[in-house]
Amino acid sequence: GENDWSVDENGQLSWENLEMGRYRFIETAAPVGYVSARNPLDIEVTENDTVTRVTFNNSPSEVSILKID
């Protein structure tokens, strides 16, 4: 199933007792002034995994301005 979660004020999100299986993390919104990550991140939780860290690296927003007159 698909679920939506939001990060805390530190940009972090955590779960406990996540079921074993494959998961895909998709960033749907980036912090103000940053561009969302373009690619989802896939992880697999196995019975031996105790901690899995997923990091989205955001780039600062860039704007191009072209004078037209």
Segments of the chain with pLDDT less than 50: none
Residues 6+ positions from 30 with CB-CB distance below 8 Å: 36, 37, 58
Each residue's pLDDT tens digit, 20-39: 888 888 888 877 888 888 88
CA nearest to 46, candidates 19, 67, 66: 19
Q: Is the pTM above the cut of 0.85? A: no
